[in-house]
Amino acid sequence: MKISPLAPTSFPNMPTVKGVDIKTYATRDANKNRDNLLLVSFVEGTKVAGVFTKSKTRSAAVDWCKNHLSTGHDARALIVNSGNSNAFTGKAGVKTVNDVVAYLANKLSLDATQIYTSSTGVIGELLPASKLINAIEENKVTAAKNAYVAAAAAIMTTDTFAKYTSKQVQIDGETISINIIAKGSGMIAPDMATMLSYVFTDAKVSQAALQQILNSATQKSFNSITVDSDTSTSDTVMLFATGAARMVEITDASNPKLKEFSAAIHEVCLEMAHQIVKDGEGAQKFIKIQVSDAVSDKSAHIIGLSIANSPLVKTAIAGEDANWGRIIMAIGKAGEEADRDLIEISIGGIKITDNGQVVDGYDETPVALHMKKQYIDIDVGLGLGNGQATIYTCDLTHGYIEINADYRS
């Protein structure tokens, strides 16, 4: 598959995160030369926070993680396979999760409640536990230049590039590493969650504080992107903090010592969210939609998503057509408060509408030039209040149809 034209041209080096050990494997049916199974081990005392899909048909793996996260146990292992989501596989799917976890608990001398698991890929096909277990037993670990790059590659499905980034911050004079990996390209319309993404840090932070930081970071990153309005059955973001760095545990998310750390978690989540959009199925353009002056942030968010999910807006942008009337349509259909005569729309920083109609002497030339760029900026002012939101999406192209009219076969 051709790499997305929006793929980042450079990636940061991924430092070591103390207390994290990464292995990747290939199942027997995996595409040759490609690992599709990730196993991460954590030192004792690793805290974990998570955010999951709200789908009513979520996968057995998501159910497992949600249930165990709430017990507050430490995390000692994470296993993720790609190619089969083990979603809508009924009791057999639940058994697969139980069997894989029991196998790992025995092999690694852990308690089952310390093990987290995700699956991503086709929905509705049975995933035998033996497939994953055999891959680990055969133990053909691939030598990877960097474990995190290998990890990011192992969880890909229709992704055209591996998604990862890293930040380092200082806490109490100690360098703390934050590494993140993610996958996602289609079925992207996270509902309080995302496709798969995992953050690894050696910071020593309590579970409650981690969860609070992750919730906040998720809202403005993974929850603010959409590729195709379709919400996955497997969406998962997890944040693992090994506590292996030399620092005293911080238990309060609002502790000033965590300010830089929280900001870095926000940043890496946003970078992953952007990389997912940039690898949106068939994407040729990255679109940033800023909605301001709505009655509330929530209202701005809904209006932004209505624009970002509109097939007519997305195809107009694919066609490099400054057809802003479709943005008006998408605002109108959102069901949120809007006053036609107060809406201001700008594209590429050029104001197009004002007072409920096109501005006097509107010249489309500079807007048409902006539409030819790879990065499209849309600003919508509603003139009603102080609510604002930024949503990221991509265009809807022939590539999306090509990929999805024949993904499974």
Q: Could you list the active site residues?
A: 194
Q: Does residue 326 belong to the site contacting a second copy (CB under 8 A)?
A: yes
Contact set for a second copy, span 167-186 (CB under 8 A): 186
Q: Which of 135, 169, 328, 367 binds a second copy (CB under 8 A)?
A: 328
Q: Which of 113, 185, 310, 346 binds a second copy (CB under 8 A)?
A: 310
Q: Which of 99, 125, 260, 297 binds a second copy (CB under 8 A)?
A: 125
Distance CA 398, CA 212 (A): 40
User: Which residue, 240 or 324, has its beta carbon nearer to a second copy?
Assistant: 324
State the angle between helix axes of 311-318 and 325-333 in degrees (0 to 180), rounded to the nearest 10: 160
Q: Which of 155, 343, 367, 380 binds a second copy (CB under 8 A)?
A: 343
Q: How far is the CB of 187 from a second copy (least distance, A)?
A: 6
Q: How far is the CB of 278 from a second copy (least distance, A)?
A: 18
Q: Which of 142, 295, 329, 351 binds a second copy (CB under 8 A)?
A: 329
Distance CA 37, CA 30 (A): 9
Q: Which of 107, 246, 333, 373 binds a second copy (CB under 8 A)?
A: 333
User: Which residue, 202 or 279, has its beta carbon nearer to a second copy?
Assistant: 279
Per CB under 8 A, the segment of 129-137, 174-182, 246-254, 329-337 that binds a second copy is 329-337
From residue 77 to residue 106, what is the string marking binding to a second copy with x (rule CB under 8 A)?
--------x-xxxxxxx-------------
* DSSP assignments along 282-314, one per residue: T---EEEEEEEEESSHHHHHHHHHHHHH-HHHH
Q: Does residue 330 belong to the site contacting a second copy (CB under 8 A)?
A: yes
Q: How far is the CB of 323 from a second copy (least distance, A)?
A: 5
Q: How far is the CB of 192 from a second copy (least distance, A)?
A: 11
User: Which residue, 35 or 336, has its beta carbon nearer to a second copy?
Assistant: 336
How open is the CA angle 402-408-409, to the nearest 5 degrees? 90
Q: Which of 7, 323, 385, 390 binds a second copy (CB under 8 A)?
A: 323
Contact set for a second copy, span 23-62 (CB under 8 A): 53-58
Q: Does residue 407 belong to the site contacting a second copy (CB under 8 A)?
A: yes
Which SS3 state, helix, strand or coil, does residue 195 take? coil
Per CB under 8 A, the segment of 64-72, 116-124, 236-244, 246-254 that binds a second copy is 116-124
Residue 313 Cα distances to 43, 52, 120, 321, 347, angstroms = 48, 29, 29, 9, 13
Distance CA 189, CA 318 (A): 19
Q: Which residues of 321-335 are buried (b: 16+ CB within 10 A; e: fewer)?
A: ebebebbbbbbeebe
CB 235 within 8 A of CB 193: yes
Q: Does residue 113 belong to the site contacting a second copy (CB under 8 A)?
A: no
Q: Does residue 302 belong to the site contacting a second copy (CB under 8 A)?
A: no
User: Which residue, 25 or 400, has its beta carbon nearer to a second copy?
Assistant: 400
Instruction: Name every residue whose Cβ is closer than 8 Å to that of residue 76 and which is 6 or more positions away in sequence.
Output: 41, 42, 44, 46, 108, 110, 111, 114, 115
User: Which residue, 43 or 122, has its beta carbon nearer to a second copy?
Assistant: 122
Q: Does residue 316 belong to the site contacting a second copy (CB under 8 A)?
A: yes
* DSSP assignments along 60-74, one per residue: HHHHHHHHHHTTTPP
Q: Does residue 331 belong to the site contacting a second copy (CB under 8 A)?
A: yes
**Dihedral sign of CA atoms 209, 212, 215, 219 in order:** negative
How open is the CA angle 287-217-239, to the nearest 5 degrees? 120
User: Which residue, 70 or 406, has its beta carbon nearer to a second copy?
Assistant: 406
Contact set for a second copy, span 222-251 (CB under 8 A): 228-233
How open is the CA angle 217-221-222, to the nearest 5 degrees? 105
The size of the chain, in residues, is 409
Q: Does residue 122 belong to the site contacting a second copy (CB under 8 A)?
A: yes
Q: Does residue 324 belong to the site contacting a second copy (CB under 8 A)?
A: yes
Instruction: Name the pairing type of β-strands 375-381 and 286-294.
Output: parallel
Residue 109 Cα distances to 22, 114, 115, 134, 247, angstroms = 17, 10, 11, 18, 27
Q: Does residue 315 belong to the site contacting a second copy (CB under 8 A)?
A: yes
